[in-house]
Chain A
Amino acid sequence: MSQKQEEENPAEETGEEKQDTQEKEGILPERAEEAKLKAKYPSLGQKPGGSDFLMKRLQKGNYKSLHWSVLLCVDEMQKYFDSGDYNMAKAKMKNKQLPSAGPDKNLVTGDHIPTPQDLPQRKSSLVTSKLAGGQVE
Chain B
Amino acid sequence: MAEGAGGAAANGGSDEKVLDFLDSVDSYLTTMESLAPILRQGWFDLASARHSMGVFRVSSASLDLKDHSASTYLQMVGHESDDSFVGQPSFSLCKWASADNKSCCSEEEIPDSQLRHRGTSRLSENQEQNSNGDDSLKTVDDLVKKERAKTLSVFGTLVSPKLRTAQLSFETALEVLVEAANIRSSMLSAYSQVQKQMEDTREGEIGPIP
Q: Do A and B come together as binding partners?
A: no
Contact residues of B with A, CB < 8 Å? none
